[in-house]
A = this chain, B = another copy of it.
Amino acid sequence: MPVPQLTEAEREGVLASLPEWTLRADSLAIEREFKFRTFSEAWAFMARVALLAEKQDHHPEWSNVYNRVAITLTTHDAGGLSERDSKLARAIDKLLA
């Protein structure tokens, strides 16, 4: 089932409420990079994000190099950003609060 894409006004609101995230150049995704002390700490964070993603049935595009994790959120079923992305981003931010 298609998911509604955020309107431009909604997108601005989401970005204002998620100051650590940046809009990708094509406006179809939001991105955030994380840096930890070690791979072990980065992995522990990823494990928690994996559980959030599975629970929300919404999964990140992400990469890891040693102590760094880069996360991109987009909704394929919406062809861009949806409320699913802002919800997952907020939950990820909470892990680090």
Contacts and interface: CB of A to CB of B under 8 A. Distances in A.
Interface residues of A, number: 15
Contacts of A40: 54
Contacts of A65: 59, 61
A39 B53 CA distance: 9
A66 interface: yes
A66 B59 contact: yes
A43 B50 CA distance: 8
A22 interface: no
The 3 closest A-B pairs by CB, nearest first: A63-B63, A61-B65, A43-B50
Interface of A: 39-40, 43, 47, 50, 53-54, 59-66
